[in-house]
Structures are given as C-alpha cells and as structure tokens.
Structure 1
Amino acid sequence: MASPAQDLGPALDKDGVRLTVDDAIATVTLTNPAKRNAQSPALWRALTEAGRLLPGSVRVVVLRAEGKSFSAGLDRQAFTPEGFDGEPSFLDLARGGDAELDATIAEYQEAFTWWRRSDIVSVAAVQGHAIGAGFQLALACDLRVVADDVQFAMRETSLGLVPDLTGTHPLVRLVGYARALEICLTGRFVTADEAVSTGLANLAVPPAQLDDAVRDLAAALLGAPRDAVIETKALLRGALERDYEAQRAAERAAQARRLRDLAGLGE
C-alpha cells in the first residue's frame, strides 16, 4: 500500500517507524515488512518518540504498516539469551529486581499509551497478521479499519506470558469479558467479519481499498470543531467508569463549556 503522505519529509524515520505530518493528519508507519513488522524495544521507543513529536496542529493520527502484515508481534529474538544488540535480554530482565522489571515494562507500554490522548483521534489501518504486540498496538488506537484479510490473535498466554502492552483494557471494553478471555486463552485468529460484528473493528474493506477508506474516515473526523471532538471523546471514554447520574453531570458540565465557548465567554 502506498503511504498517504509519502511525498512529505518524515519527522521521524528510524528503528522501523516513520512519522509524517500533513497539517491536521499525522501518519505513523511501521516500515519493516521483511520481518512482518515484528516489534522490539527500539521500535517501541521510536513509537513513543513519534507521539512526542506530534505538532499541536495534528488532530488525527493514522497508524499503518508496510507489507502484507500489520505486525506479527514481538520479535522472537527477544526470547534468546542474546536478545537485541545493546538491549538487556528478556532473560536478563527476569533476573533483575522487581522495581527494575516494572519500570522497564512501563517504558515499553508508553509506545501503546499516547494514542488515547484526548486531543487526537487515532485510527489503525490493519491488514494481514496483527498478532500479540501487533494486536495490542491496533487496540491502542481509538478506531480500527481492517482489510478483509486481517487476522488478529493474542498469543501471549499460549507462550506462558500475558498481554502486557495495554491491550487487555480495550479488548474487554470492545468485545466483553467472556469473548476477550476466550480469544486470549485459545490464541485463535479473529477474522475481519468477527472483528466488525463484535465491535473490534469499525469497518472492513478489500486490502486495495484500505488506504482510501482510512483517508476518507480521517477527513470525516476533521469535520467537527476540535474542542467539541475533544469533549465528546472524553465523555465517551469516561462513560463506563461513571454511573448514570455521574455521566449526566459530566454531559452538563461539558455542554456548559461548549456553550460558553461558542458564545465567546470561555476562559
């Protein structure tokens, strides 16, 4: 698939991650198709850096990947005694202290966290395999548009691990506890039809139409005023944590801010 912003100079291009910005739309591309965009600590740091480099003009962030697979998950080199060059191996991390191990995992999670920021709407364009860390990276985004060849799978539990890159919270929210548990414990593939029917994906299209569908969605997301989008996103994200009366109060407070802003009475 051709990049929707490939003629623009990249703001970041390293360790399998490229960031380009076209006014209100930023595109983060995974750029190692030869390894099916397998993930590593270096890639996670590059993703974190991409989030920090976003200009204030950006309202929509598109996450996409080169090649036939979105991301085949964690690079298996992580489980070798040698690990990655210049990185502690996972075996070394396991032998370290609790605080050090917790801090390292927290650092890795940062690559998956900033996509939920209230000032942006993030859209994952997912084709082919999205396994393990790849599945969790797609889940980190607000919306998902998938090619009809997509295959999601959460394989961590099958490997004796757990999904720890922030994917469990959105997965349960999207498909419910029972289905999320079954997906994680069996490690089975979730296809495009199931992803759409369960709410895991917003839309499925043929692979050749994926970029166009995401581009159209990004343009539609820019149609509403930015402050209204930010307030609406915050309301919806907090709805499951609030009871009915608290949500009513949150709606009233948000609407009061919007009305005052539209009347020129905002702070």
Structure 2
Amino acid sequence: MVYELLTLERRDDGVAVVTLTNGKVNPLSRELLGELKQAADDLAADLPGAVVITGGDRIFAAGADISQFGGPDEAAEIGPLFHDAIGAFAALPRFVIAAVSGYALGGGCELALGCDYRIASERAVFGQPEILLGIIPGGGGTQRLARVVGASKAKEMCLTGRQVKADEALRIGLADEVVAPEQLHVRALALAGEVARGALVAQGITKRLIDDGIETSLDDGLAMERDGFVEVFRSDDSQIGVASFLEHGPGKATFTGR
C-alpha cells in the first residue's frame, strides 16, 4: 500500500510507527481515515511487536476536516469512517501507543483515546470542542473519553469544549505520561521496543480480556480470564517463560512471539 497522508515505518526492533502527514494540522479527512483503516489492516495482516501513532510537533491532529461536513447524510457517512479506522487500531492484539505533541482536538483526541496508552509532550493539548460548532463528538469521544476520565469530567469537557493541557491531562488520566517535547518520541519508541520484545501472545490475550472485561460484570470477566489463562498455555512463549523462570529466575526469558 502506498500512503499519501501518512507514513508507516516498520523498524528493526519490531515497532511499527504510523505518522500522520496530512498538511500542517493533520485534519482527519475521509481520505486520511481511509488510509488509517488500511494501515491498521496492513498491520493486522503482518503484526508487529508494538505500534506507535504520532503526528506533527505542533499538532497531533486538529480534528475532522470540517470542509467535508454537511448535513445528516454526510454525517451518516463520516461517523462510520471514524469508528472503523480508530476501532481497527484499538482491535490490534498489540500495545498501541499514542505519542502526542501539540494539539489533539476532536477526532485527534478520539484517535489518541483509541490507543492503549498516551504519552504526551509538555505542550500537548487535548479537547473535544465539537459543541462549539453545535455538534457532538462522532469518532468515539462520548464513549471512550468517559471510560478514561469518568462520566463527570467527560461531560464537562464535551459540553463546554474546554481544552485540557498536558499537566491536567495527566492528572485526570487522559495522558498516561508527560515528557519534555524532545523526549516524546524517544520515550514512546523505548516503551514500544520494550513491549515488542515481550510475550506477544500473552500480551494480546491480556489486552483483549481487559477491553472486553471492562464492558461486562466481574463474574463474567473472571470467567473470560479463566478461559484466557488456559489459552495462553498453548503458546510457545508460555513454555519458554516458565522453563526460563525455573532455570534462571524472572525476567531472563527470550520470547519468540508465538
């Protein structure tokens, strides 16, 4: 696949880096959403060890391409494009990290929310400002934001359109780490590289159980965990890890990802 509005780099350490390159503000146009969905599909077909999604230094992504908005008919087309693209990254059985520098607004915030972990630079700003246009978030913001920061804070952000700077984002759980701007990609790639060397089958099962379990009752979640605990012992890595622990102690295993 030849991409025009993003780049997809597969590094030697097993990390895949997706970088938005749609002009100065990275609007999430129909075309970019289509490329994001294709990139996620390409990654799913040949899974890396971990994924980093990033954008520009001043703007991660400024939101949807407002020029493509119209009425209900256009909304009925654009909404699914957001859900499909972001959902495809969220569904990858790998650790997906958003490295956010500058503004992540509207769809940009929703893309970051679709990742498993968000590392922000000190100049990052998050927000769901759709209400200022008389509309609502359409890329998952009303749902994912509430699951991350809680219903009250999500309502306050979505109903006022207020933007949240990096220090507050860290405090409310919207960002998981805040680093100096020059350290953003260094830290994101280091964490992704560490995870990519791990037990990838177990990671995928763990991610699935957390994502699915949070939507159900504790009893049902525990039942899923019991099944996953059996499932993971069918992997080569489980045998490697247990044998390495018994012989060398913890943290010494070299996993194959199978």
What interval of TM-score do these two structures reach, taking the shorter chain for normalisation? 0.7 to 0.9
In structure 2, the residue matched to 1:74 is 64
Equivalent position to 1:31, from 14, 18, 21: 21
In structure 2, the residue matched to 1:40 is 29
Q: What code does the residue aligned with 2:63 have? A: G
With the length of structure 1 as denominator, give the TM-score of the two structures. Answer: 0.81
Q: Is 2:191 aligned against 1:217?
A: yes
Distance 2:217 2:80 in 1: 30
Distance 2:32 2:199 in 1: 33
Q: Is 2:204 aligned against 1:204?
A: no
With the length of structure 2 as denominator, give the TM-score of the two structures. Answer: 0.84
Q: Is 2:39 aligned against 1:50?
A: yes
Equivalent position to 1:252, from 226, 247, 251: 226
Q: Equivalent residues in 2 for 1:87-236 (5 A)?
A: 90-91=69-70, 93-94=71-72, 96=73, 102-236=76-210
State which drifts further: 193-202 or 101-110: 101-110
Work out whether residues 93 and 208 of structure 2, in 8 Å CA contact, stay in contact via their aligned partners in 1.
no
Q: What code does the residue aligned with 1:133 have? A: G
Question: Post-superposition shift, 1:109?
Answer: 2.4
Equivalent position to 1:18, from 4, 7, 13: 7
- Give SS of 2:26's match: coil
Question: Post-superposition shift, 1:260?
Answer: 4.3
Distance 2:56 2:180 in 1: 16
Question: Post-superposition shift, 1:146?
Answer: 0.3
Question: Post-superposition shift, 1:123?
Answer: 0.7
Question: Post-superposition shift, 1:49?
Answer: 1.3
Distance 1:118 1:75, change over 3 A: closer
Question: Post-superposition shift, 1:159?
Answer: 0.8
Distance 2:75 2:103 in 1: 29
Distance 1:50 1:263, change over 3 A: closer
Work out whether residues 142 and 158 of structure 2, in 8 Å CA contact, stay in contact via their aligned partners in 1.
no
- Give SS of 1:13's match: coil
Distance 1:239 1:194 in 2: 28
Work out whether residues 126 and 147 of structure 1, in 8 Å CA contact, stay in contact via their aligned partners in 2.
yes
Measured against aligned partners, the alpha-carbon deviations of 1:62-113 in whole angstroms (never above 9, x if no partner) come to: 11112311112123323xxxxxxxxxxx32x53x4xxx85355313421211
Work out whether residues 22 and 32 of structure 2, in 8 Å CA contact, stay in contact via their aligned partners in 1.
no
- 5+ residue gaps in structure 1? 1-10, 79-89
RMSD of aligned alpha carbons = 2.0
Question: Post-superposition shift, 1:17?
Answer: 1.3
Distance 1:248 1:76 in 2: 43
Q: What code does the residue aligned with 1:53 have? A: D
Percent identity at matched positions? 33
Distance 1:159 1:103 in 2: 19
Counting matched residue pairs gives 236
- Give SS of 1:113's match: helix
